[in-house]
Amino acid sequence: MKKAFYYLLTISLVSSVSFGITSCGGDDDGSSSVIDGVNVNNGKKLTRLEILPETGSSTTTDYNYKLRVLYDSKGRLSSVIWTNGEKYENGKYIESEIELMKIDYDLRLVNIYPSLKYMFSLNDKGYISQIASGSCTYDSYGYLTGVESLREICTLAYSEGELIKSLVSNLQNGNMQLYYMFYGENSSTGELMFYMNSEKHKTYGKNPIQAVMCFIAYQSGLFGKITNHCRYLTKSNETSAVLERNNEQNSNKFVVRCKFTYE
């Protein structure tokens, strides 16, 4: 679950390491509106996200996680429910719905399961400019170009509306990690393909919940303009995507399949 969530987030632009807190196609033209100071994407909205079992990869991914995404009467992202979550009660795990995230726009407060709370600020475009210790910068087109926290600095580069590379620098030890992104489509299945290549193998952060919540917030418009291939996910009510991470140190691949539902 941890690797799936962090990989999903990184390949979709909003990497959790950026925050230090560890859709075109069809009728959707990628436009957005500022409602009560909050940027809200117009068109279809992500309402369900499933991370599905994947076979045939060198990294076993046998999980199956289902999330429901909720919005308020103004179309703003309000909460995320883990519909097949698990709670530990009376000495055993039982399946239970869990609210992973809840946003209070009046207080500018995000609650993350189980007990994390983060204040956030918005800029004049309705994008998040500060969350916890992470500050976000955007270019004139609205794309997120950098995030700086107490621990790391992340910069992102684009070409014709697509994220093409990202550099993450650790301020504590001076290490840098460079990522390259590529895109495609499986002609036989119609699945969108997202590829990320890195210079070396790197494990992901310790809190996958924060990672996937950032991804959903990105899809809702809170972290600026969405890249073309992320908007392509809305070309139908249900879209599948395969995300593949490669590294130059060895031939191992990490593969995860996701299903997106838009309404």
The pair of structure tokens assigned to 132 is 């916890």
pLDDT tens-digit readout, 7-36 = 445 444 434 434 444 433 334 456 899 999
Tell me which of 2-6, 75-79, 172-176, 219-223 is least confident: 2-6
Element (H, E) at 76: none
Rounded mean pLDDT of 242-258? 75
What is each CA distance from 31 to 28, 155, 231, in whole angstroms?
A: 8, 24, 10
Q: Alpha-carbon distance 211 to 234, whole Å? A: 21
Output the pLDDT for position 60.
Answer: 47
The pair of structure tokens assigned to 247 is 């590294």
- Phi, psi of 216, deg, nearest 5: -65, -40
254 class by beta-carbon count within 10 Å (0-12 exposed, 13-18 middle, 19+ buried): buried
Output the pLDDT for position 59.
Answer: 53
Q: Alpha-carbon distance 45 to 249, whole Å? A: 38
Strand partners, 66: 50
**Would you say residue 144 has pLDDT above 70?**
yes
Rounded mean pLDDT of 193-209? 66
- DSSP assignments along 179-226, one per residue: EEEEEEE-TTT--EEEEEEESS-----S-HHHHHHHHHHHHHTTTSPP
Residues 127 and 98: beta-carbon distance below 8 Å: no
pLDDT tens-digit readout, 120-137 = 999 999 999 999 888 999
- Phi, psi of 84, deg, nearest 5: -115, 40
Q: Alpha-carbon distance 5 to 207, whole Å? A: 9
The pair of structure tokens assigned to 151 is 């621990």
Q: Alpha-carbon distance 139 to 156, whole Å? A: 10
Q: Alpha-carbon distance 61 to 253, whole Å? A: 11
Output the pLDDT for position 33.
Answer: 95
Euclidean distance between the first and the last CA atom of the chain, given in angstroms as a whole number: 26
The pair of structure tokens assigned to 220 is 């809702």
pLDDT, greater one: 57 or 66 = 66
Q: Where along the chain do its domains lie?
A: 2-262
Rounded mean pLDDT of 43-57? 79
Residue 217: name the closest of 1, 12, 3 by CA: 12
Strand partners, 179: 166, 198
Q: How confident is the model at residue 63 (pLDDT cuts 50, 70, 90)?
A: low
Q: How many CB atoms lie within 10 A of CB 47?
A: 15
3-state secondary structure of 11: helix
